[in-house]
């Protein structure tokens, strides 16, 4: 999903003619928002805990 966000943001910024703006600057807030919306910390910590038990 994070690669798709990068591709979409890069396509949109190039289409708008903003070639000097790095796509990562725009896509990072969207990635963080997506991580929070899917409850990423809970998934990450839960997977780590399950791997040690």
Q: Is the pTM of this model over 0.85?
A: no
Distance separating alpha carbons of residues 6 and 23, to the nearest angstrom:
7
What's the whole-number mean pLDDT along residues 5-23?
91
Please answer whether residues 6 and 27 qualify as being in contact, where contact means their C-beta atoms are separated by less than 8 angstroms.
yes
Q: With a cut of 90, say whether residue 19 has pLDDT above it.
A: no
Q: With a cut of 90, say whether residue 1 has pLDDT above it.
A: no
For the segment 24-49, what is each residue's pLDDT rounded down to a tens digit? Answer: 899 999 999 999 999 989 999 999 99
Q: Torsion over CA of 36, 25, 2 and 45, rounded to 10 degrees?
A: -40
Q: Which spans in the chain are helix H?
A: 2-15, 23-37, 40-52
Please answer whether residues 27 and 14 qualify as being in contact, where contact means their C-beta atoms are separated by less than 8 angstroms.
no
Q: What are the extents of the domains in the chain?
A: 2-52
């Amino acid at each position: 999903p994070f690669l798709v966000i990068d591709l979409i943001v890069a396509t949109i910024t190039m289409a708008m003619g903003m070639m000097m703006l790095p796509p990562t600057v725009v896509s990072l807030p969207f990635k963080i928002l997506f991580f929070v919306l899917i409850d990423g910390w809970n998934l990450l910590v839960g997977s780590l805990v399950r791997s040690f038990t």
